[in-house]
Structure 1
Amino acid sequence: MSETGVIHDIGYQRYEGPRLGRAATITALYGHGVRAAFGFGRSAKAKIFPWLVAGITVLVAVIIAAVKSQVPDFEFGYVEFDDSLSWLIIFFVAILAPTLVSRDIRAGTLPLYFSRPLRAADYVIAKFLAMVTAVWLLLGVPQLIMFLGAAFTTEKGLSGVWDEVRELVPGWTYSLLWALLFTSIGLLVASLTGKQAFAAGGIVAIFLVTTPVVGVLTQLPSSAANQMAGLASPMTLISGVGSWALGSDIGMDLGRYGPIYGIEAFCLIAACLLLLLARYRKVAAL
């Protein structure tokens, strides 16, 4: 008795559409990351915290804009706005970073990502840009509200509006620095574990542990130690860069060490990104 095989045509066809390539993959991951940061496409519970934080920042901006419209001499700039919300942003980053990367580790989706023509660098770039965008929007949108309030209530006409623009641009630049530094630290810590609670606790711990060190160094009798104390914590590091580069008043004397703050901030961001890339290259190679 001979055995014969039968080939059934069930309608499968080869994909003949356009191949969008790496740029489209990065863009898709980036867009998904920004949406996830604010809870879009997720449960109602996932939307509570990010929109609560966003609501607080907007409310603070509205109050400041209202006060400045009634008290022209009220001095509270766009740079000071970021510093006043520092701990709120830290907690936002502590929740957002694990959402973007720890969930992929816990759910086991990384092997699926890297089984496609997706490089580790593509994944890191997409997640990094998505989180930077989310943090910057959290600070930049309220600053824009403050600007609009000041621009529409100024008594100096166009010159007053131009003065506000000249203050807003450094404020947005400062917000971008916050986003870059906090994102690099947050993603690196979150990439080490699939447990979101551990990742969030680790991120907050970095700031809790390093902040008292700054206080100790400022009490030393050496003026050089006092001026370089801010280098010991990411929060005061950013403030130091703002003081050196943007002329903001942080209540710290940096002396001649201002450029060192800028160099350390750049090196810290670069080091975190390189370690993050090495981490995902190792995962992709498994």
Structure 2
Amino acid sequence: MSEAGVIHDIGYQRYEGPRLGRGAVLGALYVHGLRAAFGFGRSAKSKIFPWGVAGIILLVAVINAGVRSQTGTWLFDYFQIDNNMSLLVIFFAAIVAPELVSRDLRAGVLPLYFSRPLRAADYVTAKVAALVTALWLLLGVPQFIMFLTGAFTSKTGMKGVWHELGLLIPGWGYSLLWALVFASISLLIASFTGKRAFAAGGIVAFVLMTVPVVGVLSLLPSQTAHHLAGLASPISLINGIEFWLRDVQDPGLDIGDLGPIYGIEAVCLIAVCLLLLLARYRKVASL
């Protein structure tokens, strides 16, 4: 019996197609993340929560639009719908962020990702962009429904449509602020554990535990401390920026003349969270 080896041709061929590079990988990660945020490509059970939240906010927007079509006035405007739906936004971010990053940690696929022409910055960019887009759509689509009602029930023709558009665009900007703040916070917290339940609980706990701090600080006798109390919570931080930019007074949150400080902290908060997230994945990529 011969001991010589035999080479079998089983049809393997070299890949001769286009090499798309980092940009295509980043785009694929972004699209996959956005689809995962709303449960596409996953089981029906995975779609219940994101679409349930989206359905509730859409229903509120439709009711609001119906009231305006009948009475001519809103129950709440483009900014207030974001404020009123804040808890749903928090829970949505708390559920979706672990789906985007914690699953990768638990499955151990990050070394595979980073063995390709993909940098840690690309991974972070794709995940942040996917969650920001998902959160913005969660709020922006209901705002657009409100806009359609206002535009088509206007009695001043195109002038009324342009006026309504001038109200919608700042509202979309406010929704983007909500998306940026909570996407950056949620992804940073979720990036430290592969267990989705722990990540979701940590995100909700962090946000909700800061709310009482605002109440305690607002009771201090110092007027400056009272004005700065809103900086202690992401929710009141965003509300403070709205009050500053719209020149609105609210007895529940008095920011005085310190509105610019709220804007500066929001920028710094987002930047610090993203830098820490990048540092976290650079460490993972180097392992």
Q: Quickly name the TM-score band, shorter chain normalised.
A: over 0.9
Letter in structure 2 aligned against 1:43 = S
Which range moved further: 152-161 or 179-188? Answer: 152-161
Q: Does residue 270 of structure 1 match 2:266?
A: no
More deviation, 106-115/268-277: 106-115
| Structure 1 segment 131-210 matched on structure 2, within 5 A | 131-210=131-210
Q: Which runs of 5+ in 2 are unaligned?
A: none
2:67: which partner in 1? 67
Whether the 8 Å CA contact 1:79–1:248 is kept in 2: the answer is no
Separation in structure 2 between the aligned mates of residue 219 and residue 83 of structure 1, nearest angstrom: 23
CA drift of 1:120 comes to 0.7
Q: 5 Å matches for 1:208-223?
A: 208-223=208-223
For the structure 1 residues 228 and 160, does the alpha-carbon distance in structure 2 shift closer, same or farther, using more than 3 Å as the test? same
Deviation of the 1:2 alpha carbon: 9.4
Between stretches 86-95 and 243-252, larger displacement belongs to: 243-252
TM-score normalised according to structure 2 size: 0.96
Residue 85 of structure 1 pairs with residue 89 of structure 2: no
- Which position in structure 2 is the counterpart of 1:123? 123
**Contact 1:106-1:195 within 8 A present in 2 as well:** yes
Match of 2:241 in 1: 241
Q: Distance in 2 between matches of 1:67 and 1:108?
A: 51
Contact 1:69/1:154 (<8 A) preserved: no
Query: Aligned partner of 2:135: which letter?
Result: V
Q: How many residues align?
A: 286
Look up the match of 1:56.
56
Amino acid at match of 2:186: G
- Say yes or no: does 1:281 pair with 2:274: no
Deviations 1:12-54 (A, max 9, x none): 2211111101110000000000000000000000000000000
User: 1:139, 1:175 within 8 Å by CA — same for their partners in 2?
Assistant: yes
Aligned residue number for residue 254 of structure 1: 255
1:159 CA displacement? 1.9
Question: Which stretch of structure 1 is more off in the superposition, 82-91 or 102-111?
Answer: 102-111
How far does residue 11 in structure 1 lie from its aligned partner after superposition?
Answer: 2.2
> 1-side partners of 2:163 and 2:78: how far apart?
12
Q: CA deviation at 1:156?
A: 2.4
Q: Secondary structure at the match of 1:228?
A: helix
**In the alignment, what sits opposite 1:36?**
36
Instruction: Give the aligned residue type for 1:20.
Output: L
Matched residue of 2:139: which SS?
helix
Distance (whole Å) between structure 1 residues aligned to residue 88 and residue 249 of structure 2: 20
Which has the higher mean CA deviation after the structures are superposed, 165-174 or 114-123? 114-123
Q: How far apart in 1 are the matches of 2:283 and 2:36? A: 25
Residue identity matched to 2:111: P
Alpha-carbon shift at residue 74 of structure 1 (Å): 3.7
Measured in 2, the distance between the counterparts of 1:163 and 1:223 equals: 38
Give how far 1:247 is off: 3.8
- Stretches of structure 1 that go unaligned for 5 or more consecutive residues are none
How far did residue 5 of structure 1 move? 4.7
Q: CA 1:2/1:155 → structure 2, altered by over 3 Å: closer, same or farther?
A: closer
Contact 2:29 2:127 in 1 (8 A): yes
Tell me, yes or no, if the aligned pair for 1:217 and 1:229 is still in contact at 8 Å.
yes
Mapped to 1, the partners of 2:219 and 2:234 lie a distance apart of 19
The alpha-carbon distance between structure 1 residues 249 and 29, as it changes in their structure 2 partners (threshold 3 A), is farther
C-alpha displacement of 1:165? 0.6
1:109: which partner in 2?
109
Q: CA deviation at 1:55?
A: 0.3
| Aligned alpha-carbon RMSD (Å) | 1.5
Give the CA deviation at 1:246: 3.9
